[in-house]
Amino acid sequence: MRWFLKFAGSTIGLKIVMAVSGLLLFGFVIGHMLGNLQVYLGAETLNAYGATLQGMGPLLWVVRLGLLAIVLAHIGSSVALVRLSHAARPQSYKKVQPRASTYASRTMRVSGPIVLAFIIFHILHLTQGAAHPELQHCVTGADGALQCFVHENVVSAFSLTGANVAYKAFSVVFYVVAMVLLGLHLGHGAYSMVRTLGLSNPRYDRIARALATAVTLVIVIGNCSIPIAVAVGLVRTAGGH
């Protein structure tokens, strides 16, 4: 155990903690998006998917707590590393002209906290409901089957009709902005993770970078499409709205 703590506390060890947790979160983001894209398959499919997840019972909490632990490892390692970085250059340059770094790589410390704020909002918005007054929670029907209203909730959260239009418009904008920042974060993160884990090979470096960008673009476009599709009326509930 002692050797592990020593390793995990070194700068490279902390980077590896960050890379591995980042990789797991990257996988989660892809899975989450694929699940959500079922919104385009109609209310029945999406609601059934929601009921399946909710029906997992205690297992759902195992997954949630696991995700929380991964997020905490990711944040903890980044806080430790940023502090090291400040200590390593107490006096900054009067002038610097970066050449190889990218906008995404230089703004990781900004995009990260904003994405975190978004995740908290997102949970209060579409899971817990504190930020979404019209949210309908799952109910157990007369036949004992779990009935969920994911589709209705997504529509009432972003459709620019009815009450609270300004708040819903803000939600759409916040989701889109957060996804673009998530894209920047993942774009550099995926590339950096490959290098940190020593998986890079000079021969495939270009391909790795292109692949990281492509997957990131798919995530940004896929996720942004949902609130936008609802806002412009492409996705609506059967009953109207």
Cβ closer to other proteins: 10 or 128? 10
CA nearest to 127, candidates 164, 153, 156, 165: 153
> At residue 42, what are phi and psi to the nearest 5 degrees?
105, 165
Beta bridge partners of 147: 139
- Are 29 and 113 a contacting pair, CB within 8 Å? no
In degrees and rounded to multiples of 5, residue 108 shows phi and psi of -55, -40
CB of 127 to other proteins, least distance (A): 32
Nearer to other proteins, 80 or 160 (CB): 80
User: Which C-beta is closer to other proteins: that of 154 or that of 190?
Assistant: 190
Chain residues binding other proteins by CB under 8 A are 3-4, 7, 10-16, 81, 84-85, 87-102, 105-106, 108, 188, 191-192, 195-200, 202
Q: Least distance from C-beta 200 to other proteins, angstroms?
A: 5
Min CB(87)–other proteins separation in Å: 6
Residue 189, classified by CB atoms within 10 Å of its CB into exposed (0-12), middle (13-18) or buried (19+), is buried
Question: Closest approach of Cβ 234 to other proteins, in Å?
Answer: 39
Q: Which residues contact 82 (CB under 8 A, 6 or more apart)?
A: 109
Identify which of residues 84 and 139 has a Cβ nearer to other proteins in the complex.
84
| Crossing angle of the two packed helices 2-9 and 11-36, in degrees rounded to 10 | 80
In the complex, what is the shortest distance from the CB of residue 78 to other proteins, in angstroms, rounded to a whole number?
A: 10
Minimum CB–partner distance for residue 20 and other proteins (Å): 11
Q: How far is the CB of 18 from other proteins (least distance, A)?
A: 9
Please, which residue, 89 or 240, has the CB nearer to other proteins? 89
Instruction: Tell me which amino acid residue 97 is.
Output: Q
Give the whole-angstrom CA distance, residue 138 versus residue 140.
7
Rank residues 123 and 197 by Cβ distance to other proteins and give the closer one. 197
Amino acid at site 166 = A
Residue 191 and residue 212 in contact, taking contact as beta carbons nearer than 8 Å:
yes
Query: Is the CB of 94 or the CB of 239 nearer to other proteins?
Result: 94
**Contact (Cβ atoms closer than 8 angstroms) between residue 176 and residue 226:** no
DSSP bridge partners of 139: 147
